[in-house]
């Protein structure tokens, strides 16, 4: 999915079936307000699309002649960060445990991997062996593993998202990225998109 960068946000656009294109994005609340004010009586989603087209020539060209097939869907706000791992014998996985900025598209992968990490620990012994003391030990082990595995992804995603939402930073970084493409590989490893060789 090619990354789209526009003032106050980022997103991606991908071809799907039957000539359709799907656009997904995140936009800062202050930029959403500005786009809505600039658009007058337009719906919020249409105002955001107008903002993106105005600042991103590639989107303008790709969507020339396109028409909206259905209503826009939205969710939010996102709440990136690391949260508690367990309390009173309740273990958290997926976004409940911690959420990365969607710029790295790792949400589903992190949810599945965190559930697998927890299940691996919970099923290591027969269920009748899971006393309160053992649950506390599993909790501590899971929390440590979770941080080791996911904290770098969450921090990397936050860095990439903030970079992407700052057009001047993107403009100045692009020549460096062209000169040193290994930086992209390192970022992909830190975000969970690529494994170390």
For the chain, give the mean pLDDT: 85
**How far lies 178's CA from each of 172, 174, 182, in Å?**
11, 6, 9
* pTM for this entry: 0.75
How far from 130 is each of 124, 135, 137, 143, 171, CA to CA, in Å? Answer: 10, 6, 10, 17, 54
Per-residue tokens: 166: 């700052």
Distance CA 122, CA 127 (A): 8
Query: Residue 47 in contact with residue 39, Cβ under 8 Å?
Result: yes
CA 55 to CA 160: how far, in whole Å?
19
pLDDT per position as a tens digit, 39-81: 888 889 999 999 999 988 888 998 898 888 888 888 878 889 9
Does the CA dihedral 172-173-174-176 come out positive or negative? Answer: positive
pLDDT tens digits for range 109-154: 899 999 999 999 988 877 777 777 788 888 889 999 999 999 988 9
């Amino acid at each position: 999915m090619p990354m789209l960068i526009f003032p106050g946000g980022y997103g991606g656009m991908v071809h799907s079936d039957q000539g359709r294109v799907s656009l997904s994005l995140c936009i800062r609340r202050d930029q959403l307000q500005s786009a809505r004010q600039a658009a007058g009586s337009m719906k919020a989603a249409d105002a955001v699309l107008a903002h993106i087209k105005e600042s991103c020539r590639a989107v303008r060209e790709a969507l020339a002649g396109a028409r909206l097939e259905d209503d826009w869907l939205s969710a939010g706000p996102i709440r990136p960060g690391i949260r508690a791992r367990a309390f009173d014998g309740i273990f958290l996985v997926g976004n409940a445990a911690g959420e990365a900025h969607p710029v790295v598209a790792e949400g589903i992968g992190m949810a599945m991997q965190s559930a697998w990490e927890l299940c691996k620990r919970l099923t290591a012994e027969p269920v009748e062996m899971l006393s309160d003391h053992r649950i506390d030990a599993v909790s501590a082990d899971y929390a440590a593993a979770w941080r080791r595995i996911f904290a770098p992804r969450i921090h990397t995603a936050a860095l990439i998202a903030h970079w992407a939402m700052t057009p001047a930073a993107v403009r100045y970084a692009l020549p460096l990225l062209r000169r040193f493409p290994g930086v992209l590989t390192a970022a992909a490893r830190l975000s969970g998109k690529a494994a170390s060789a």
